[in-house]
Amino acid sequence: MNVLVIGGGGREHALAWKLAQSPKVQMVYLAPGNGGTALDDRLKNLPITDMVALRDWALEHKIALTVVGPEGPLAAGVVDDFRAHGLRVFGPTKAAAQLESSKAFSKAFMQRHGIPTAHFAVFSDAVAAHAHLETTGAPIVVKADGLAAGKGVVVAATLAEAHAAVDFMLADGAFGSSPAGGEARVVIEEFLQGEEASFIVMCDGKNVLPLATSQDHKRLQDGDAGPNTGGMGAYSPAPIVTPDVHARAMREVILPTIRGMEKDGIPFTGFLYAGLMIDAQGKVKTLEFNCRMGDPETQPIMARLKTDWLDVLWAATEPPGATGLADMELQWDRRTALGVVLAAHGYPHTPRQGDAISGIPKETEDAVVFHAGTRLHDGVLEASGGRVLCVTALADSVRLAQARAYETVAQIHFEGMQFRSDIGFRAVKA
Ligand code: AMP
Ligand code: GLY
């Protein structure tokens, strides 16, 4: 069969790469894909970014299954539309995607269903928000309500920073306008301490199948310094998620969320990503929900998956009442996978495009380079976005996976290339 992956980042390259390994898959189309997916014979890019045009294309080309990578099309209702036209698609509906697209929605949802999360208050009025900050003090966290491509969260160490964040997020024309198109809102929430992990599950509307655990590195520089980014590297599994923490996350966060969505009349289908903060006692709080897989978490997770990915997605998209994911078991490579993001000059604020990329080695059994912001320009591979590549390697320990990944990084070159040299540092045993 022919399948379609919507998106063009490193996450989508990894999803498509894994799908292409299934003997049942003839061709994986990506819309729009990137320079790396253009170079792979088993993958084909489609220059279609309009979702209605893409749906018509999928109907015409009898696409058997579509997987949606990024949050944008999900929040815009691509799943509702594909389904309404009889297409098989994995992802949440527009209503369910609010778990990610509106922080105010997801915080109210968590409160209503007793899901552990930071204390919070929501404001659309700047004066009230400023007054509230005077009662909380710092450190404090200010979040824009709508989708903000990773730029909507300010962890403020001082009240001055927090006040500035409120002014910025509630200002006219800022990105923080509500997803419903109404007035801008901010969520002000308690600062949580601990270690973060990404807990991603698949859901068919009823059954939940956890994927391997992972941890991302959100800051630009080594030692978690510098500005927040979309993610500079990730590894799987994340040892912080002990069997105990795993059971707690399922019991206290994931299952109540899926049941809660069902109860609220918005059954959840798709990937559900809970960003967890795990404290020293192993207690779990939910920092955020995403209604998609993580980028770059997907790259190491797909590198470890042994089960036929088409079979899994097929089961996950069975109609209500079928077995769905109930009997599905996933096999994982026992090794650690670790991905290092190579970002463009100026990322995250002003990424430069057009730098020519050289030295990407051929894929091996234990190292693969997933493309993100790359394109072919007159046959030359060049950077076209913030996060350019994700070098992903497998080995028997975090330290060995680091060594294998960085050995591969050393072969690759483009002007202004930025990367962290400490991916996986929290999991490296002294
Ligand atoms: P979010 O998009 O909500 O996950 O926030 C982005 C990042 O900000 C998270 O990965 C955390 O590192 C940090 N963050 C968000 N909320 C909190 C919080 N309540 N306490 C501490 N750090 C937070
Ligand atoms: N890597 C974090 C995210 O995908 O949201």
3-state helix, strand, coil in the chain (%, to 5): 30, 30, 40
DSSP H or E segment with residue 248: helix 243-248
What's the pLDDT score for residue 175? 56
Task: Kindly state the tokens that stand for 267.
Answer: 């059954």
The closest residue, in CA terms, to atom 3 on ligand 2 is 294
Residue 179 pLDDT > 90 = no
For the entire predicted model, the pTM comes to: 0.94
pLDDT in tens, 298-327: 999 999 999 999 999 999 999 988 999 999
Q: Is 69 in the pocket of ligand 2 (CB under 6 A)?
A: no
Query: What ranges in 4-101 are assigned the alpha helix state H?
Result: 10-20, 35-39, 51-60, 71-75, 78-84, 98-101
Nearest CA to ligand 2 atom 4: 294
Q: Residue 172 — very low, low, confident or very high, per pLDDT cuts 50/70/90?
A: low
More confident residue, 172 or 94: 94
Average pLDDT over residues 351-367: 98
Quick: pLDDT tens for 185-196: 999 999 999 999
User: To test ligand 1's pocket by mutation, which of 140, 141, 188, 426 has the most ligand atoms within 8 angstroms of CB?
Assistant: 141
Q: What is the mean pLDDT of residues 255-264?
A: 97
Ligand 2 atom at minimum distance from 150 CA? 5
- For the ranges 162-171, 177-186, 409-418, the lowest mean pLDDT is seen at 177-186
Q: Which residues contact 278 (CB under 8 A, 6 or more apart)?
A: 194, 195, 196, 197, 240, 241, 245, 284
118 lines ligand 1 (CB under 6 A): yes
- Nearest ligand to the C-alpha atom of residue 193: 1
pLDDT score of 23: 98
The Cα 271–Cα 291 span in angstroms is 6
Nearest alpha-carbon partner for 28 in 302, 408, 328, 344: 302
pLDDT surpasses 90 at 111: yes
The band of 87, judged by pLDDT with boundaries at 50, 70 and 90, is: very high
Average pLDDT estimate for 229-242: 96
Where residue 427 falls among pLDDT bands split at 50, 70, 90?
A: very high
Nearest to 12 by CA among 55, 57, 66: 66
pLDDT reading at 178 higher than 50: no
